[in-house]
Amino acid sequence: MKYFLSIGSNLEDREKNLSQTQFLLEKEGIEILKESSLYKTQPVGFPSKSWFYNQVLEVKANVKPEALLTLVKKIEQKMGRDLPAKKGPRIIDIDILLAEKTVIQTKNLEIPHPRMEKRNFVLVPFSEISPDTVHPILNLSVKDILKKSNDPSMVNQIKKRTTHKEC
């Protein structure tokens, strides 16, 4: 199944944290098909002096969404994320944005991600790698969702994406 993941970090060596996340995903058998450029993004929902580095990945995984959630939480813990902290600075944050056309709404997992359409730090890199992907509930493409975004937070490209991992 193809998934889109958002990865972000605003502690320590943020770029290294994102690279380490990709390495650990691949080590767990997750194939990275595309990766967006690296973006420096303003924190949303909490005050912080340290801005995030964010990326969106298109990946292929031979696991169901619930198993992928378990796997990404394991990676977050392995990298030192304090899991009880919902908001605030973090060494790594991995969110499942979409799982093809799957819609899941449980206590532990919501796909599509319930706030992705309100977050430029997700929409800008997502639109870069897959602008025509359609949100299965909103029935709008990512590029159209981005055009309608009311999120005033800043998202600045700092490192262009590489093409060596793309199909």
Extents of the domains making up the chain: 2-159
Per residue of the chain (167 residues), what is the pLDDT tens digit? Answer: 999 999 999 999 999 999 999 999 999 999 999 999 999 999 887 777 789 999 999 999 999 999 999 999 999 999 998 765 567 788 999 999 999 999 999 999 999 999 999 999 999 999 999 999 999 999 999 999 999 999 999 999 998 876 544 43
Say which residues have a Cβ less than 8 Å from residue 9's Cβ, sequence separation at least 6: 17, 18, 21, 52, 53, 90, 91, 92, 93
| Under 8 Å between Cβ of 15 and 38 | yes
pLDDT at 163: 56
pTM: 0.94
Which residue, 149, 121, 145, is CA-closest to 133? 145
Q: What pLDDT does residue 10 have?
A: 94
Residues shown for the chain? 167
Architecture of domain 2-159: 2-Layer Sandwich (3.30)
